[in-house]
Structure 1
């Protein structure tokens, strides 16, 4: 029997319902395959307006059955469930916190911290692999890429990167962060990844198809499902990335698009005031590629502007 809080699922069963954490409901599907295999979790909706990743998780939860998987597959459909319906970008409305920034959590904290604690205490210890699916937010554009952990035991990091390299996305970023659901899992000894694909508050069919293909490649490599992908991509690794945040409230004018290559000294964007006066100009510190950026005219103080990475030669 698989057990996660109030949820139980036996061999050969498929369960869909809500994982209750301190009166907070997270929609989940558990598929317990008839054949033995690894225990894997696909986690969607930590950022509740990243719609392509959420829909990909829902579609796969409906597609898979105990007859066509090995092991146990846990799919969390929309973790920030209350934020999803309020259409409040990034934060959990009950405590106004970014859930992905409070891991490993606090049993006695706010609801975001309690959710993160439940992951760390009750979910991760049961897993063989954790994959967190994301994409550009309402006001973000993202090039398709994978984050893999850079902090933790070498064996865990190496295996995470091995799995990532078998997913047909062109860029893999070695993370230096210790926060976030997948980084926290890796530090706790669970191989983990994060996929970024989609964005702008819409679900383009080609992005949804690509997302599901990537997740099937991931599950196939771990022998959860049988799936043959003919696409082979030479994946490049980024070992140095720069994340720019806004020093003030202002009007943001990016100069490039996600996926564009940049040269050292290129102007990445400008912040102006409401009268059109230039306040800040941001230049690239090295040659690289734009991973993601805010595309809304409005930019609040301390919000992300643009992230770019240096390709490993």
Structure 2
């Protein structure tokens, strides 16, 4: 058995091909075969679409699998490679992190050939798939315990030209929110590695909470808009309807916009995503669970903001994030 990752088919083959990206066995598990779809229509943009980076965010794998079904009928040029379940062990366990080594795939790029299974997956993608693409769409969701509008997310990039190209690509999805997110933990992230190679990377955060038909239709529409913007398919991009509105906002969120719980308890949201709140506006309430006499604790907005994401009603620990605020991105 090979000790290096390999593809079971040739990505340069014209037309539609399917096969697997084989991640070699290690001390922790046997070899893993990740299903891969490729549609090569010659010259043009080269796109890699991935889902299932986090295994409990299933909107990505579903929309990626839908793309496999309809893309062959509409793609006009270029090459699209689709990996619906990038972190297969995590998807099977419905877990953000791998159940085998406990690692977060989105924190170990570019990976290690001699590492644990999550590092070997990142290494295989970095070596064999990423060189074949100029643009990456990584399909996430905000996770099952959050309410979040369908969004396209990128992080600040030092390269001004690449930052501008990435924002334009993100805005082309025409999802309700395009978000420039000052994230505190970008080391080893898939997008950080892709950006370091001068390539455009768009992270689609396909909402949160539960997977439902209406939401999936919005996500699929946004992905189609992205393909239209790249010139891979013909058509006119349209803003999908979200909560009876057709609009797309470009926002930024800073580290100071992360609101955290000051105590253990049950968090009750008192706002909805995309609400505009004034300074001091009520975001939610923490109810202590160990005493009925203890007062509830208000979580309030430190500045006038737009609610970007809010935790669902759930028990939270001290210093656990309960909301993200944002504001319009300045040119």
- In the TM superposition, residue 58 of structure 1 has moved relative to its aligned partner by 0.4
**Aligned residue in 2 for 1:298:** 315
Are residue 94 (structure 1) and residue 100 (structure 2) matched?
yes
* Per-residue deviation, residues 213-261 of structure 1 (Å, max 9, x unmatched): 1111111111111122344976433233322345665322222122222
Which of 274, 279, 289 is the aligned partner of 1:274?
289
In structure 2, stretches of 5+ residues that fail to align are: 25-30, 241-245
**Aligned residue in 1 for 2:124:** 118
Larger Rg: 2
- In the TM superposition, residue 295 of structure 1 has moved relative to its aligned partner by 0.7
**Aligned residue in 1 for 2:7:** 6
Are residue 212 (structure 1) and residue 220 (structure 2) matched?
yes
Are residue 243 (structure 1) and residue 251 (structure 2) matched?
no
Does the 8 A contact of 1:271 with 1:278 survive in 2?
no
- In the TM superposition, residue 302 of structure 1 has moved relative to its aligned partner by 5.8
Normalized against structure 2, the TM-score is what? 0.82
**Aligned residue in 2 for 1:85:** 92
**Aligned residue in 2 for 1:172:** 178
Report the Cα distance in structure 1 between the residues aligned to 2:180 and 2:139, rounded to whole angstroms: 16
* Per-residue deviation, residues 104-163 of structure 1 (Å, max 9, x unmatched): 434433322332333334332321101111123222211122112312422211111112
What is the alpha-carbon root mean square deviation over aligned residues?
A: 2.6
Report the Cα distance in structure 1 between the residues aligned to 2:319 and 2:36, rounded to whole angstroms: 33
**Aligned residue in 1 for 2:27:** none
**Aligned residue in 2 for 1:201:** 210
**Aligned residue in 2 for 1:222:** 230
**Aligned residue in 2 for 1:187:** 196
Pick closer, same or farther for the CA change 1:199–1:236 going to 2, 3 Å.
closer
Are residue 156 (structure 1) and residue 162 (structure 2) matched?
yes
- In the TM superposition, residue 189 of structure 1 has moved relative to its aligned partner by 1.3
In structure 1, stretches of 5+ residues that fail to align are: none
Name the structure where strand makes up a greater proportion of residues.
1
Does the 8 A contact of 2:55 with 2:93 survive in 1?
no
Does the 8 A contact of 1:71 with 1:224 survive in 2?
yes
Pick closer, same or farther for the CA change 1:6–1:61 going to 2, 3 Å.
same
**Aligned residue in 2 for 1:261:** 276
Map 1:62-77 → 2, pairs under 5 A: 62-65=69-72, 68-77=75-84
* Number of aligned positions between the proteins: 307
**Aligned residue in 2 for 1:20:** 22
Pick closer, same or farther for the CA change 1:295–1:67 going to 2, 3 Å.
closer
Does the 8 A contact of 2:175 with 2:239 survive in 1?
no
Pick closer, same or farther for the CA change 1:103–1:260 going to 2, 3 Å.
farther
